[in-house]
Structure 1
Amino acid sequence: MPDPTVLQAVRFAGAHALAIYAALLLLVMLTAGLVARGLLPLRGPSAAAPEPLSPVALLLRFAAGFACLVGGAMLFATIAEELHTEPTLGQLDEAFIVAMIDHVPELALRAFYLITVVGNRETLITLGVVVTAALLVLRRRGLALGWALAMLGNGALNPTLKHVFERARPIHPTHWLTEDGFSFPSGHSSGAVIAMGMLAYLAVRLLPRRWHVPAWIAAAGLAFSIGASRVFLRVHFPSDVLAGFASGTAWLTISIASIELARWAKRRRRAPQVSGVELTR
């Protein structure tokens, strides 16, 4: 059984879930904005072509990516192990859901239903096709391939994880939405992190710099809200959503790092050719 103090705190959190969501949403968006401002600027199409990354800069960038990858993987593994070996986390999940039932108004549930539709499989498939086609029209084949592989990879990874863990969904669904299948990890949460994260990355690569920070903030806020909507609609436990965020972050890191590595390698191949042309002038 969970510690009584912890159980009481979880029930309090469930009863005040809307206020906690609002506070966390603000924190997530502020953090995204600060991180975006603090990163080395990735120049948009209106800026001059950036210099190739030095080996040290490239190493630092991939070290940061490696930290995100390891952090996401470790968080996912920790949650999965806790659910598999001890009943405590599952009991706390259930206590949170039960405490939340009578404290979320109908208007909020309606809003969360509209938000959750953004993360539906059909929506993400449509988004994936449209963005891929747009990138191909813009002749950005590398970005199109990276985007498509990121979306398809998560589409294959999440169902696999669900069938590995086979966790049942909450037994208190709202009248707004019921879901079949397994619960852990949340596919909406991981899919939202991948889709919104990749859209923010594409905005950094393709749009003027004034759009970079707003893109990061919007992506973080929407991804977080899609994940939270699954808890408020009671089709996922909080730990499902947190695990979905973790697995999505890990896969997003792999996807962006792969695209950046391909871009760096392409610039390295082109550098001797450019030097040779200059020497013949």
Structure 2
Amino acid sequence: MDADWISRHAVTLWAVLLAAALAGADVAWRRAVRRREGLDAAARTFLRPVTAMAVVVAMLAIAAAIAVEVRDAAGLTVFDANLASDLRANTPLPVLRAIAWLTHAGDALVLGIATLVVFVVLLVRRHLRLAITWIVTLVGTASINTALKSWFQRERPLHDHGYVVEHSYSFPSGHASGSMVFYGMLGYVLLVLCPPRWHRTIVIAAVAMISIVGVSRILLQVHYFSDVMAGYATGLAWVTLCVGSAEYLRLREGRRAGQ
């Protein structure tokens, strides 16, 4: 499967991958629910510490492997360049125009305002621990991404369609990592606060937003494929670490209260 073929079927592949991601999220959530139902109330958690650590280690390993490829200008960067060039040649402008609207769901300004709104709401409703976890997680991911961009200083692919214009460095994708952390963390907050009947919808919606925002950056040619994959990996590692830590503290507090 070469870059030219992918570029000619990009929207169809995007739809298929989105459907697969949603189906996978649904299956994973159903399995998690069955596991939780078999535990005592005091032992129930949305993310077990051992699972969290496994995900963090795996995602950091993936991000590191991609970073080495980018640093050494290895085979992955050749695929990156070919895919970006072929997308530029083969993606119709009306498609780019529509995707440009979708990508704004991961803009720094949009997520920044939404982060402050959620933080204030949590404080007003006196969910102090959730509020602290929320703001630390979101501020942390912005700092991490800024540091990584400054470290690698990778230039963006050519994108002259005019629908989206970016001037910052390319690696890793801030939209991919930001959407992973924001919508992932928002999903966690809603899982904690909302009745179980809403949980499945929350998980599916979070996965949909993360998938849409990240892949839109590739189709718009403002990021290379590896930028987005690294952004997803670093974002998932960070949000998993934060949620896992929050769940560990919540579980420990619940056990102490039950003693």
Specify the SS of the correspondent of 1:95. Answer: helix
Moved over 3 A (4+): 40-43
Instruction: Report deviation, 1:198.
Output: 0.9
Match of 2:174 in 1: 187
* Equivalent position to 1:248, from 221, 228, 235: 235
Counterpart of 2:48 in 1: which secondary structure?
helix
1:62 pairs with 49, 57, 68, which one?
49
Partner of 1:218: 205
The one of 26, 29, 35 equivalent to 2:22 is 29
Instruction: Please give the per-residue CA displacement for 1:196-242, whole angstroms capped at 9, x wherever unaligned.
Output: 11111112111111211111111111111101111111110011001
Structure with bigger gyration radius: 1
| Stretch of structure 1 that moved more, 28-37 or 180-189 | 28-37
2:98 maps to what in 1?
111
Alpha-carbon shift at residue 266 of structure 1 (Å): 2.3
Could you list the runs of 5+ residues in structure 1 that have no partner in the other structure? 1-5, 44-49, 273-281
Closer/same/farther in 2, CA of residues 30 and 222 from structure 1, 3 Å limit: same
Task: Give a deviation string over 1:108-156, Cα, whole Å, max 9, x none.
Answer: 2122111111111111111111111111122111111111111000010
1:25 & 1:173 partners in 2: Cα distance?
Answer: 27
Contact 2:56 2:240 (C-alpha < 8 Å) held by counterparts: yes
Do 1:42 and 1:204's aligned partners in 2 also have CA atoms closer than 8 Å?
no
The TM-score, its normalising length taken from structure 1, stands at 0.86
2:218 matched to which residue of 1? 231
Kept in 2, the 8 Å contact 1:174–1:234? The answer is no
Give the conservation status (yes or no) of the 8 Å contact 1:16–1:103.
no
What is the RMSD of the two structures over their aligned residues, measured on CA atoms? 1.9
**For the residues of structure 1 that align with 2:80 and 2:160, how far apart are their CA atoms?**
14
Q: 1:51 Cα shift?
A: 2.0
Contact kept? 1:42, 1:205, Cα under 8 Å:
no
1:51 partner amino acid: A
Matches within 5 A, 1:41-80: 51-53=41-43, 61-80=48-67
User: Are the counterparts in 2 of residues 192 and 227 from structure 1 also a CA contact under 8 Å?
Assistant: yes
Matches within 5 A, 1:1-281: 9-40=2-33, 51-53=41-43, 61-272=48-259
Kindly state the Cα deviation for residue 52 of structure 1 after the two structures are TM-superposed: 1.3
Provide the rounded CA distance (Å) in 2 between the counterparts of 1:186 and 1:264.
Answer: 33
> Separation in 1 of the partners of 2:35 and 2:113?
28
Q: Tell me: CA distance 1:231–1:202, structure 2 relative to 1, closer, same or farther (3 Å).
A: same
* Number of matched pairs: 255
**How many angstroms does 1:172 deviate by?**
3.1
Report the TM-score, using the length of structure 2 for normalisation: 0.93
Deviation at 1:40, TM superposition (A): 3.5
Letter of the structure 1 residue corresponding to residue 109 of structure 2: E
